[in-house]
Structure 1
Amino acid sequence: MKILFIYNPNSGDESGKEFVGKIEDKLKKYFDEVILKETKKAGDGTKFVEEIRDVDSIGAFGGDGTINEVLLGMKNIDSKAKLLILPGGTGNLLGQRLNISQDKEEALESFDFKKTQKIDLGRVNDKIFSLFASIGAVPEAIHEVSSEEKSKIGGLAYVKKSIEKLTTSEKYNFDVKSDGGNYSGPVDHLIVGLSNKIGKLEFTSENKEMNNGYANLFILTKDSIKDRLELLKDSIEGEVEQGKNILDFTVKEAEIYSIDDKEVRLDIDGDEGPKLPVKIKILKEAVEVYIPREELT
């Protein structure tokens, strides 16, 4: 058994180089060969996966950006390797969704490489996302809230961060086409979610599965402060689909165009994504990931 392990030494608290020795010691107990690769620039994660193909498993230590680079490489070469995720960034949203401890030492100890789970991914143009693609101030604010802020002031952390951004939010005009429904007109917020959670926030009761081949597409069509605050309130209460100015489609594929030719970029899993127009496709059970031997709360 062979594992390629990719780590970003600059993720999160920049502890990658110090921690990688412990990771290597752990992996050598379960794998016959461990290949370590350190990322130095954007795109390295994808490159390493595409270059070193003859492996049974691939591991990644870094933030959501590092994870998505690895996932992109895996999809580009149609890799069947199993994926190990260790939290090394500030967000680690996919790891949180898979109940992987956000304490790296605890997370490393929790794996015995016996349990796996297949999950969906989203492809947007030439990029991969594992949880969500979004446009707008509230989704941006929600994923920017740190675990430290969340633990200190709970749901108020989302309110605080969102209010900071609401006054600078732009309004857009989009043409949205999908197999679940179409819309053309003003858009204040848009999110394509593979999960019903962002971090610890369960923003909807719909689409709780991570492997059903579908995503929720939410569109807020009004741009008043009142509408934005209602969206924030509904998100915190887990009922974003109940908003009176919210359109809710269940989709496998979607296309998003800017009607007025304004340059707009999608946010994917907390990082800057491609410019519109974009084509999104949900890839059912696209990757098999290792999960902890015991689910952690």
Structure 2
Amino acid sequence: MKKAVLIVNPSSGNEDAQEYEKLAKEKLVNIFDEVEVRHTEDAGDATKFAQQAVESKVDSVFAMGGDGTVNEVISGLAEQEYRPRFGFFPLGTVNDLARSLHISMDPVEAIAELDLDRRMSLDIGKVNEDYFMNIVAVGGIPEAISDVDVEEKTKFGKLAYFTSGFKQVIKDESYHFDLDIEGEKRSVESSAVVVVLTQTIGGYSHIVPEAKPDDGKMYLLYLKNHNVADMLKSVPDILKGIDHSTDYIGYETFTEGSLAVKEKVELHPSVDGDEGPGLPLHFKILPQHLEVYYGSEAE
């Protein structure tokens, strides 16, 4: 008997969340012999529900919510001996993983297009004891973006992140970071260091065009800015897509590494849009770790 668990964040999707949940359950009931719906109330609930689904050895686990909910569910599945297949219906503001998997941003379409025959392997990143599916960002700009509250995200969407980040740029604050990438040590000065798994960052597609969901790589990018002028000069490189280092942006791929800051400051890294562990950070790729359902346009 095939069973699916649908983990829903009822606070995502505004007043339409209940209708989306109803549609998703109707879709899954037509595919699976049994469907259980779980509602999150507190942080960590989605991870707990996913772990319970693992213990029950269900066939598939689905998430309905924003990037935070998707991250929590993936965190409950990662590194388990038995890992159910994973799917999700995006209700959030950014939905970078959904964009990379060509899942529709319209929840109604995403639900209707679900096809269990469309499956692929998905890389998962590990940072210290946490997991990520999109991005880990460190520095003044990422901190400002992480501080965007739910109301601003809902009202302004991607513009809220841009505005918050730009305010931080004006402060012109950078840090000295120690990097260890595949055993090679170096120091860089930057206002923002990011490690990504997907092409899309902050809802903007093809920022890292070489990134594939199953390529077994992490992508390190950092701004080589020493002043606001350098930061602004990096914008054209970012907008056209980054696949190599430039005068203003550092770029490389890796599978394991670490990051520390030299200054005596308390930075709060952003992990998939939420506050992550404190520095130093250790990164490791879990290649092709989950079997995920993708959208109708994915190759």
Q: Verify: 1:182 aligned to 2:193, yes or no.
A: no
Deviation at residue 260 of structure 1 after TM alignment: 2.2
Deviation at residue 60 of structure 1 after TM alignment: 0.2
Instruction: Show the counterpart of 2:170.
Output: 167
3-state SS of the aligned residue for 1:256?
Answer: strand
Instruction: Show the counterpart of 2:235.
Output: 232
Instruction: Show the counterpart of 1:264.
Output: 267
CA contact (8 A) 1:201 1:236 kept: no
- Name the aligned partner's letter for residue 44 of structure 1: D
1:128-147 map, 5 Å = 128-136=131-139
Deviation at residue 169 of structure 1 after TM alignment: 5.3
Instruction: Show the counterpart of 1:70.
Output: 73
Deviates more, 1:248-257 or 1:38-47: 248-257
Alpha-carbon spacing, 1:234–1:146, altered in 2? closer, same or farther (3 Å): farther
- Name the aligned partner's letter for residue 40 of structure 1: E
CA distance in 1, matches of 2:84, 2:248: 43
Alpha-carbon spacing, 1:158–1:75, altered in 2? closer, same or farther (3 Å): closer
- Name the aligned partner's letter for residue 28 of structure 2: L
Alpha-carbon spacing, 1:117–1:180, altered in 2? closer, same or farther (3 Å): farther
Percent identity reads 33
CA contact (8 A) 2:8 2:63 kept: yes
Say how many residue pairs are matched.
291
CA distance in 1, matches of 2:244, 2:233: 11
Deviation at residue 232 of structure 1 after TM alignment: 2.2
- Name the aligned partner's letter for residue 263 of structure 1: E
3-state SS of the aligned residue for 1:23?
Answer: helix
Instruction: Show the counterpart of 1:201.
Output: 205
Q: Verify: 1:220 aligned to 2:190, yes or no.
A: no
Deviation at residue 200 of structure 1 after TM alignment: 3.2
3-state SS of the aligned residue for 2:46?
Answer: helix
CA contact (8 A) 2:224 2:247 kept: no
Deviation at residue 96 of structure 1 after TM alignment: 1.2
The two structures have a TM-score, normalised by structure 1, of 0.87
Superposed CA offset, 1:36-83 (max 9, x none)? 100000000110111232201000000011001001110142342111
Alpha-carbon spacing, 1:20–1:2, altered in 2? closer, same or farther (3 Å): same
Deviates more, 1:97-106 or 1:221-230: 221-230
Instruction: Show the counterpart of 2:32.
Output: 31
CA contact (8 A) 2:233 2:248 kept: no
CA distance in 1, matches of 2:42, 2:160: 32
Deviation at residue 159 of structure 1 after TM alignment: 6.6
Instruction: Show the counterpart of 1:120.
Output: 123
Superposed CA offset, 1:100-127 (max 9, x none)? 1111111100112111011111011121
Q: Verify: 1:295 aligned to 2:297, yes or no.
A: yes
CA contact (8 A) 1:212 1:284 kept: yes
Deviation at residue 175 of structure 1 after TM alignment: 1.1
